[in-house]
Amino acid sequence: MTRSLDIVFLGLSLSSSWGNGHATTYRALIKGLRHAGHRIFFLERDVPWYASHRDLPSPDFCELAYYSDPATMIERHGERLGNADAVIVGSYVPDGVPLIDGLEALQPKRLCFYDIDTPVTLAKLDRGDEEYLALRQIPLFDAYFSFSGGRVLTWLEQRYGARRAIALYCSVDEGRYANTGESNCWDLGYLGTYSPDRQPTLERLLLEPARRLPSMRFVVAGPQYPAEIEWPANVERIEHLPPADHASFYSRQRFTLNVTRSDMIAAGWSPSVRLFEAAACGAPIISDFWQGLDELLPDTEALFIARAPEDVVALLTELSDSDRLAAAAAARKRVMSSHTGYARAGDLAGALSNLPANPAFERISA
């Protein structure tokens, strides 16, 4: 990029990481954009569940403003939205459908969508669920940025009518995620908000191994787990872990577990931000399998694939420390070379610079 861009994001949350992986994803990306000299304005819906759990209410790397409803927000910030080089709406934004319609009516220079949940979004649309994006709106975007790559990009263009589907994977904030050097507290840990479709895998790859290895220590961090879950005595629970504590959390595990939502497994090529964070902290990773994972972090070289409790038990009891740490080092090298916020910011800025401006905007400007 040779020119500074003025970019407006309308995302689920930047201020609160409670119960979502969007905030840390946006933070890493926007820090990278700011470092490269771009100007960023983030608009966030003011909702009580995030307002009461804000761990970054006033970021120093971008402007952040809250709004109560889309129509009032567009009226108040219409000039800024209309003059921006790009307006990027994220997935799971409340009242996303009327918000997108209102933004499209402004005829911004470039209107884009950043889907941090692509397989989930497409599965919802296939069921007729248009919670935050309508099927008719996909062709409106100049670019559909997807945190899933691979065949999903072809689906977006050929099945759903996207003009341009471009992979924009999650990334890690390299300034915040590194090994802290602390001693291990747990043999295996997991960080993630409760999800019904992830829970069977968590049961199979962490809770059952914990029952079989009562002398070892396990931990699960994240909110919204139902009260009826029966946690083994050697599994510690942490209700909420703010991003400032993530590096310490990962650094204190002999292994960390990566669990993927079922829609993302079906789509493949969908690395989560937690996967990158764990790798950046040098935590040896045990993961379920999905297509494309081997291209990112090869099995036994940069992480360890587990399909059954026996696989996890064997890794915890038989793998040498040298092999465990060698895989962690290989994963960190790969992630730090290609999946940092700085790297991803370059991907986004480069893609935006190659998008033609809306002809309607050019006529208005003239």
Beta bridge partners of 140: none
The whole-number pLDDT of residue 358 equals: 83
Write out the DSSP string of 27-53.
HHHHHHHHHTT-EEEEEEE--HHHHTT
pLDDT score of 361: 58
Average pLDDT per consecutive 10 residues, the chain (366 residues; last block may be shorter) = 86 95 96 97 97 95 97 97 97 98 97 97 97 98 97 97 98 95 98 95 98 98 96 96 94 98 93 96 98 95 98 98 98 97 97 88 48
Which residues neighbour 150 within 8 Å (Cβ) at sequence distance 6 or greater? 167, 267, 268, 269, 291, 292
Give pLDDT, residue 359: 73
Do residues 214 and 233 touch, judged by C-beta distance below 8 A?
Answer: yes
In the chain, where does DSSP find H-type helix? 22-35, 48-51, 70-83, 96-106, 118-126, 151-158, 199-202, 208-212, 246-251, 262-267, 273-280, 293-296, 309-318, 321-338, 341-353, 359-365
Longest alpha-carbon distance in the chain = 72
Report pLDDT for 155.
97
Which is nearest to 259 in space by CA: 329, 219, 306, 310? 306
Q: How much is the pLDDT for 363?
A: 42
Q: Give the whole-angstrom CA distance, residue 111 versus residue 355.
A: 10
Are 62 and 29 in contact, with CB atoms under 8 Å apart? Answer: no
Contacts of 361-365 with CB under 8 Å at 24 or more apart are 361/82, 361/107, 361/108, 361/109, 364/107
- How far is it, in rounded angstroms, from Cα 325 to Cα 320? 9
